Structure 1
Amino acid sequence: MPRILIVDDHPLFRLALAQAVRNVVDAAEVVEADGFEAAMAQLRAQPDTDLVLLDLHMPGSHGLMGLVTLRSAFPAVAVVMVSAHDDPNVVHRALTYGAAGFVPKRTGLDDLQGVLRAILDGELPAPPPAATTADDLQDRALAARLATLSPQQLRVLVLVAEGLLNKQIADRLGIQERTVKAHLTAIFERLGVRNRTQASLLLGALSISDPARFPLPDDTSITAG
């Protein structure tokens, strides 16, 4: 029985997506989380989750950084991004940073069914084409560097970008301040930056502007059926 975690901060859309998943995946166990930290807690409790449907724009996820963090901590779990922001460049970037697929919130039931079944059957989408632009090259280089960080180092990096001081980070993560400093030394070296400001700017490259909130799907969307 596949276990699918839906992560979206909009309760009505979360409900609509859960209903759609139950319609298209036989005997699926559907679990919901209303934020990124809640999703991580769910995955720590159930690391054998098969698939995460992750909203791109959500408090705590920092755009594509949420995807990177989740994939680092739970590499065996497939992550499909779900977003109203379905610009081809955004889709391309999500795949570059490790998404197993991308589902626009406008997706109809038949297409959603195809994506879910393919992912659960282990049929991953074709990788993004070879980098042809400076932005592509930058994304691939950053993705490779972020992949060298441990899950805990990624958490430290996110908190640095949020402006927390070392002591605050230590308190948040329940570790010693000297451990935070050791993590930062490793982070700076692996990312090729010299200080917190440069690290924060680098992380900012993963942010994606949130479009206007997408209205709840109508009967031609994933709520159909």
Structure 2
Amino acid sequence: MEDHALVREAMAQSLARLQPGLECVEASSADQALACLDADGDIDLAVIDLMLPDMNGFSLLAVLAKRFPEVPAVVVSAIDDEVSVRRAIKAGASGYVSKSSSSEVLLQAVRGVLDGGVHLPDDKSATQPARRARMPASERYGLTAAQGRVLELLAAGKTNREIADLLGVSEGTVKVHMTAIFRALDVSSRAQALVVMSRCGVRL
């Protein structure tokens, strides 16, 4: 979802490198994008700009999260300050890429989000919660030792399957822990959990 045709075409060409046969559906406005999502139930990912002609990008993220919760969203924007990144994640984005980044960074972000992960700009403190550590997550949020280990791996960008393999448990067990962690942190996504931990100075 990008209102500049040249930018849309460049991103579509970059994303086409993900895998053979991948189809990119382009939209120049929020209304057009929502219509595409309504018409096609097989869309796996939404890539959006924050500056759209008919709707604020943050508002669009909230609409996507409510109407299409199964479709993750990655923001690609020239606006890349920390406040905007946090706001986008809070609104429902699973990834954030600056337009100044390379196409390889965009592909890395999309791959990570499609695998169930979260991608934030490397220079944003929201991506580095452990460095601002003060209080253990288990102490602040009342997590069990097992939940604390899952949270640590979540912060490291691991997918549910990777966490399960590393901890020697089933993926279903990891999902149960994730549900408990989200409830304790009062969030609904991995990205929001990372932002909460960063903002509160939580140590893993």
Query: For 2:54, what is the secondary structure of its paired residue?
Result: coil
In structure 2, how many angstroms separate the alpha carbons of the residues matched to 1:31 and 1:122? 21
Match of 1:61 among 55, 66, 79: 55
Verify: 1:37 aligned to 2:104, yes or no: no
Aligned partners of 1:60 and 1:66 also within 8 Å? no
In structure 1, how many angstroms separate the alpha carbons of the residues matched to 2:20 and 2:118? 20
Per-residue CA deviations over 1:13-33 (Å, capped at 9, x if unaligned) read 000110111123443111101
- Structure 2 counterparts to residues 13-24 of structure 1, below 5 A: 13-24=7-18
- Structure 2 counterparts to residues 1-225 of structure 1, below 5 A: 7-125=1-119, 126=191, 127-130=194-197, 132=199
In 2 relative to 1, CA 110–131 (structure 1 residues): closer, same or farther, beyond 3 Å?
Answer: closer
Aligned partners of 1:11 and 1:34 also within 8 Å? yes
Q: After TM superposition, give the deviation of residue 10 of structure 1 in Å.
A: 0.3
In structure 2, how many angstroms separate the alpha carbons of the residues matched to 1:93 and 1:18? 25
In structure 1, how many angstroms separate the alpha carbons of the residues matched to 2:98 and 2:68? 23
Per-residue CA deviations over 1:86-135 (Å, capped at 9, x if unaligned) read 111111111111101011111112211211111112223543134859xx
Query: For 1:122, what is the secondary structure of its paired residue?
Result: coil
In structure 2, how many angstroms separate the alpha carbons of the residues matched to 1:80 and 1:24? 15
Q: After TM superposition, give the deviation of residue 48 of structure 1 in Å.
A: 2.6
Query: For 1:18, what is the secondary structure of its paired residue?
Result: helix
Per-residue CA deviations over 1:30-84 (Å, capped at 9, x if unaligned) read 1101100000000000123100001111012223111101211111000111110
Aligned partners of 2:2 and 2:52 also within 8 Å? yes
Aligned partners of 1:56 and 1:64 also within 8 Å? yes
Structure 2: segments with no counterpart, 5+ residues = 120-190
Amino acid at match of 1:129: V
Q: Percent identical across equivalent pairs?
A: 37
Q: Comparing both structures, which one devotes a greater share of its residues to helix?
A: 2
The number of equivalent residue pairs is 127
Q: Report the RMSD for the aligned CA atoms in angstroms.
A: 1.8
Per-residue CA deviations over 1:158-216 (Å, capped at 9, x if unaligned) read xxxxxxxxxxxxxxxxxxxxxxxxxxxxxxxxxxxxxxxxxxxxxxxxxxxxxxxxxxx
Amino acid at match of 2:83: N
Structure 1: segments with no counterpart, 5+ residues = 1-6, 134-225
In structure 1, how many angstroms separate the alpha carbons of the residues matched to 2:113 and 2:79? 21
Aligned partners of 1:47 and 1:74 also within 8 Å? no
In 2 relative to 1, CA 110–35 (structure 1 residues): closer, same or farther, beyond 3 Å?
Answer: same
Deviates more, 1:49-58 or 1:103-112: 103-112
Higher relative contact order (CA 8 A, sep 6+): 1
